[in-house]
Amino acid sequence: MRQPARQTRRPERRTPQTAAESAKVRERALADTPAHGSARDAASPDDPPLFHARPEITDSWARLRRLGLDPDAGAVAVNLGPAELEHRRRSSGLDPLLPVLRDTLLEQVGQLPLILAIADAEGHVLWQEGERALRRGADRIGFHTGARWVEESVGTNGIAATLRAQRPMHVHSAEHYLRSHHTWTCVAAPVHDPGTGRLIGAINLSAPAHTVRPYLLQLTITAAKLAETELRARRLESLHHLRTLAAPLLARVNGPALVVDAAGWTAAAAGLPPPPRLRLPAEGWSSAAVHWLPSLGECVIEPLADGWLVRPIRPQDTALASSDCPGGRGDGPDDGTVGGRRTDDRLGGGLLAEQAAGARLRLDLRRAGSPQLSVRGAAGSWSHALSPRHAELLLLLATERDGLSAAQLADALFGDPARTVTVRAELSRLRRYLGGLLAHRPYRFAESVLVTVAGPEDPYDLLPTSSAPAVRRLRAGLLGGTVRLPGTPPLPGPRAPGDESVPRSRPARTGPPRSPVPAHPTGH
């Protein structure tokens, strides 16, 4: 029997790009990519896959080129003075981590030359340790304690890319925007506060490009998880201390009450089922004595040494509403039910309608990486920080007021209309505190809700951690002036001579540029 001919085609090369190949990609991108180009514009489709840069890298190059950053000189360095550096170290919450990270990263990797740097959420290098000769080389490019390592100043780099994307990143050799950094490789991973979920900094490892090892990124990720574990242990210790102080206090309080820490986590409760965590206002409590919380209704708030004493005014609603707080039980299919029972029935038929009537919802996306949601209505006002996924969902619903099915949202978020289970789970969590503001079949904001979105000045900073196809299209539309966010004034068009009232050109549409979405008649 004749044997089939042996395959002579060489397998696709899967080794990492060399410095020369990375440099070729970078120079072509900077020379050919328009200032408003996307990652897909940075490489020719005829090039082999080996010579395609990653989208997050080419997006950074395009943004920096549009900002006018000189790839040979960078921008004026921003350095902290000694007093400001010490203040940021103490307020960052990262100061207990240095001994643990030093032992984990510097003493366990043998003779490999490394620099360990810990940066805060704004990119300031708070600590830097490593081999002395290597640190002298880093000083020559401005990478030292107190420096602010952000894209606008020093171009594409590991710390800035990680803080912007809020996920582990590596930038190798010529992937750096500045030519002076091409002899370096840096890997970084974000660190989040376990109590609030807020990004508080990044851990970075830098080494000469020719000594890079493939395990460095995983080592950095492990170190970041270790740092968050250490922070979580300290938070639990603080919560236990607060619980000890709260027990005699709650014994003297008449009626239901609970004590929460500064992040809203419950330390102790009396007279009501204790919710794991309350959603506290993102901007802090005002001077008013009574506040409205989405999970408890109107409450009297009193400060404690390390937290707050919360006393609901309407105790008949607290047991009902506490199961709807974040982290509580009762997740069910998002068809208007929680725990298998209809939400409006559980709330007596009136609270959700009261919440939605004439409500004003504001989605604040002006600060990159810190989306905020504020709600004002007949039931009260409240605000809190959003997770990146919830910010994406609310932005899509705000720009598509007619509503979207679960399949359409999955396609907009992941490019895969089949991922409806993930979408429904996230929307179920949103409904716990949005209640009647969020309708379904299709998913949309209630008609009586006035929705506005405050976006950043630079469209590149609109949810910079998001890689959702619909969000990327929205950024491009905002950059090109073809769309605008809800609540922003329309762009002025050319007017006829003597006509001061009616624009001749049609204003930009609200929402992302539409793309063909397959019909899913059974999705909701």
Indicate whether 235 pLDDT > 70: yes
pLDDT of residue 338: 32
Question: How far apart are the C-alpha atoms of 122 and 117, rounded to whole Å?
Answer: 14
pLDDT of residue 351: 40
pLDDT digits (tens, 9 = 90+) for 372-401: 888 887 656 777 778 889 999 999 999 998
Interior angle at CA 392, CA 391 and CA 395, nearest 5: 85
- Bridge partners (DSSP) listed for residue 342: 337
Compute the average pLDDT of residues 343-369. 61
Token couple for 58: 């080419």
Answer with the residue of higher pLDDT: 490 or 73. Answer: 73
Indicate whether 354 pLDDT > 70: no
Whether the link from the prior residue into 442 is cis, omega within 30° of 0, is yes
Q: How confident is the model at residue 343 (pLDDT cuts 50, 70, 90)?
A: very low
Indicate whether 276 pLDDT > 80: yes
How far is Cα of residue 41 from the mean position of the Cα atoms in its chain?
A: 26
Question: How far apart are the C-alpha atoms of 290 and 313, rounded to whole Å?
Answer: 9
pLDDT digits (tens, 9 = 90+) for 148-165: 999 998 999 999 999 988
To the nearest 10°, the Cα dihedral for 292, 293, 299, 302?
A: -110
Q: Please enumerate in sequence order all residues whose Cβ is within 8 A of that of 95, keeping only pairs 6 or more positions apart, or say none.
A: 89
What are the φ/ψ torsions at residue 407 (nearest 5 degrees)?
-65, -40
Confirm if 461 and 368 have CB atoms less than 8 A apart.
yes
Indicate whether 309 pLDDT > 70: yes
Confirm if 318 and 270 have CB atoms less than 8 A apart.
no
pLDDT of residue 93: 86
Indicate whether 105 pLDDT > 90: no
Closest CA to 339 of 325, 359, 352: 325
The top-scoring range by mean pLDDT among 50-54, 250-254, 375-379 is: 250-254
Can you give the length of the chain in residues? 524
pLDDT of residue 27: 59
User: How big is the chain by its Cα radius of gyration, in Å?
Assistant: 26
pLDDT digits (tens, 9 = 90+) for 472-513: 899 888 888 888 898 776 544 444 444 444 444 444 556 665
Question: How far apart are the C-alpha atoms of 161 and 157, rounded to whole Å?
Answer: 6
How far is Cα of residue 366 from the mean position of the Cα atoms in its chain?
A: 12
Minimum mean pLDDT range among 121-130, 179-188, 497-506:
497-506
Closest CA to 259 of 302, 296, 230: 302
When the pLDDT of each residue in the chain is averaged and rounded to a whole number, the result is: 76
Indicate whether 355 pLDDT > 60: no
Q: Is 378 exposed, middle or buried (0-12, 13-18, 19+ CB in 10 A)?
A: exposed
Count Cβ atoms below 10 Å from residue 286 Cβ, excluding itself.
10
Interior angle at CA 228, CA 224 and CA 234, nearest 5: 145
pLDDT of residue 359: 82
Closest CA to 255 of 239, 269, 275, 266: 269
DSSP letter at 95?
G
Q: Please enumerate in sequence order all residues whose Cβ is within 8 A of that of 84, keeping only pairs 6 or more positions apart, or say none.
A: none
pLDDT of residue 430: 86
Indicate whether 48 pLDDT > 60: no
Answer with the residue of higher pLDDT: 352 or 328. Answer: 352
pLDDT of residue 337: 35
Q: Is 399 exposed, middle or buried (0-12, 13-18, 19+ CB in 10 A)?
A: buried
Question: How far apart are the C-alpha atoms of 408 and 425, rounded to whole Å?
Answer: 15
- Please report where in the chains the tokens 């514009």 appear, as a residue: 41
